[in-house]
Amino acid sequence: MMSSTPLLFDQMPVDTFLREYWQKKPCLFKQALPGIVSPLTPDELAGLALEDDIESRLIIEHGTEHNQSPWELRRGPFTERDFARLPDTHWTLLVQAVDQWVPEVKDLLKSFQCLPQWRLDDIMISFAPEGGSVGPHFDQYDVFLVQVEGTRHWDLGPACNHLSALNTDTELKILTDMAVTEGWDITPGDVLYVPPSVAHHGVALDNCLTYSIGFRAPDAVEMLQGLAQRLDIEPDVDFMRYQDADLSAAEAGHAITPQALERMRAVMTKAMARDDVLADWLGAFMTQNKYDLFDWDDVEDGNLELSPTQFVQKALPTRIAWFGERLYVNGRAFLLTTEDQPLMASLAHNQSWTWQSLTDLAASEQALEVLDLLILSGSLELPEEDAFAAPVTVN
């Protein structure tokens, strides 16, 4: 009898991966995606790096004889001349969020559906000739490194933190020293998982295309700032104030007492205990497009009159999550009803519909209004001819 346990890359039970590796230690999946073919050539990737609204970088490793920092960072957009003047080896082109522009790239995310989809960040693609690298470093998020073309050698090291020494002669966060604990040569179809803070260093052994799938993870400052902004619009927040009805005479004077800190902590705990407030901040934050492609301030309410057979699709950059009766789309929260949950699930999991199939799922008037807003904001769009960047030749 076949097991019903879901497998990651058809190799490992998801429960085993989450228990033994997720945010704990690296894991190499050999031939996780056999026969993988890149939808983009290196020249087409370079073509994307010419665009103003696409984030791209070049990292060049210089020899010590140049009497300069061995690591140079250049930021796009680039020109064809920039690529024509690159050396033959020891450089890397990185293009961020390619899944927002190329549907076939976004399709790769289907291999990661066993993980929380609201945590997905984007797919960064890097191209490097022989010797290309971004240096030994660590990230603050989970990442899956998918080798698509060529062979890259990866060295992995120990977990790092804010005390780990970094090079001071470059704005790149490159470790000054990395103790190697294990290493692998990664070939097309292999996938390497690296947990947050684990040091790693990849070097191209020949012309390489590597896809990086990262997972968002807000830090404490982002959480507190975002929650404060969210609480600021709640009508009862003014009543969540510091209280000291249990004040004792021993607390007189200028000293802040442990009892005072505990009372303050109780106020903050009360605010954070509000599931609706916390979920609204988290949902809006995690679905916010980091390139501000969706500006809700410019969206005006309106009633659309679309044909029931009109084809509607999710815009590639659109991010959707939901919690209970709350729907989050591209940084905005919408309060719907319990009966609208099939609509929310369909919006989150599917990519295209007819207008009739969407409106049939809308159980409330506010859900119909939200669908109109999603069209007007560009979060859902009517199909049109795909625009694709012209290829550029790279060395």
pLDDT in tens, 183-210: 999 999 999 999 999 999 999 999 999 9
Q: Which fold has domain 7-215?
A: Jelly Rolls (2.60.120)
Please give the radius of gyration of the chain, using alpha carbons only, rounded to the nearest integer: 24
Is the pLDDT at 63 greater than 80, yes or no?
A: no
Instruction: Give the neighbor-by-neighbor strand order of the sheet with 198-204.
Output: 182-186, 152-159, 198-204
Which run of H or E residues covers position 17?
Answer: helix 14-20
Mean pLDDT of 307-318: 94
Residues of the chain with CATH 3.40.366.30: 288-381
Per the listing, tokens 């591209």 go with: 330
Q: Return d(Cα 384, Cα 354) in angstroms, integer.
A: 15
Q: Has domain 288-381 been given CATH number 3.40.50.150?
A: no
pLDDT single digits (tens) 262-275: 999 998 888 888 88
pLDDT single digits (tens) 129-165: 999 999 999 999 999 999 999 999 999 999 999 999 9
Confidence label for 386 from pLDDT (cuts 50, 70 and 90): very low
Bridge partners, 193 (sequence order): 27, 144
Whole-prediction pTM? 0.89
Q: What is the pLDDT of residue 393?
A: 56
Residues of the chain with CATH 2.60.120.650: 7-215
Mean pLDDT of 376-380: 94
Closest CA to 287 of 108, 140, 119: 119
Q: What is the dihedral of CA 286, 287, 293, 296, to 10 degrees?
A: -110
Q: What is the pLDDT of residue 229?
A: 83
91 CB-near residues (< 8 Å, 6+ apart): 58, 59, 60, 61, 128, 129, 132
Residue 2, classified by CB atoms within 10 Å of its CB into exposed (0-12), middle (13-18) or buried (19+), is exposed
DSSP calls for 329-363: ETTEEEE--GGGHHHHHHHHH-SEEEHHHHHHH--
Confidence label for 388 from pLDDT (cuts 50, 70 and 90): very low
Bridge partners, 209 (sequence order): 127, 149
Burial 156-194 (b: 16+ CB within 10 A, else e): bbeebeeebeebeebebebbeebeeeeebebebbbbbbb
